[in-house]
Amino acid sequence: MNPTTPSSESDPVWRPALVLFVLLSLVTGLLYPFFVTGVAQAVFPHQANGSLIERQGQAVGSELIGQPFAQAGHFWGRPSATGPMAYNAGASSGSNLGPNHPALAEAVKARIDALRAADPGNTAPVPVDLVTASASGLDPHISLAGARYQVARVARSRGLAPEQVNTLVDQHTETSLFGFLGEPRVNVLALNLALDAPRP
């Protein structure tokens, strides 16, 4: 009596693999993304849509991505090492220059000189975040010290009292997460938009 063997036509070996492929494609490619997107839109709509900052109904930027500011009447953010332009979200990166690299030392010196030239009367030490780029090149925040360092220049350029500008800095200072994660920081774009807003 010859043993019987299953035929490839009655029980193809590829059928379980195909079924599993289709099932996992539906779960991981459709159901899970739709579920996560729906929860995000329902619970965190602002963050899920890019944490956009709007002015007069128009998006002017994101809370998560810095922008270049060079006018004396604006606060300046952290330097950005992205190319071919600063704060290029499509090329997020640091400079990859080591701490002893001559090019880094020259870049830092040039940034210090620019800050000193913009505010010659300011003899305070320059906060390190104003002269060094972040690892992403997109950091939208500066330290509270970095903001305070620029108050006199911004106030003078705008004809405001330093106390007025300091008040805006206080209003836009974000505290540490849960009270102990990170340092107090200031979102540069939000602060500059507040400066540009009409005053009563």
Which residues contact residue 128 at a Cβ distance below 8 angstroms, ignoring those fewer than 6 apart? none
Residue 96 lies in a domain: yes
Name the domain count of the chain. 1
Phi/psi zone of residue 103: left (φ > 0), alpha (ψ -120 to 50 degrees), beta?
alpha
Residue 1 has pLDDT above 90, yes or no: no
Cα–Cα dist 131/133, whole Å: 7
Residue 24 lies in a domain: no
Residue 58 lies in a domain: no
Residue 2 has pLDDT above 70, yes or no: no
Residue 88 lies in a domain: yes
Residue 81 lies in a domain: yes
Residue 41 lies in a domain: no
Residue 10's alpha-carbon distances to 7, 15, 17, 126, in angstroms, are 6, 11, 16, 78
pLDDT of residue 13: 82
Cα–Cα dist 103/192, whole Å: 30
Residue 64 identity (one-letter amino acid): L
What value does the mean pLDDT take over residues 176-191?
89
The dihedral sign for the CA sequence 100, 101, 104, 105: positive
Residue 34 lies in a domain: no
pLDDT of residue 96: 86
Q: What is the pTM of this model?
A: 0.80
Rounded (5°) CA angle 126-73-127: 10
Please give the residue range of the domain that contains residue 88. 68-196
Give 36-82 pLDDT, tens digit per residue: 999 999 898 888 888 999 888 889 999 999 999 999 999 999 999 99
Give 130-156 pLDDT, tens digit per residue: 999 999 999 999 999 999 999 999 999
pLDDT of residue 104: 93
Query: Is 187:60 a contact under the CB 8 Å cutoff?
Result: no
Q: What band does 3 get if pLDDT is binned at 50, 70 and 90?
A: low
Residue 119 lies in a domain: yes
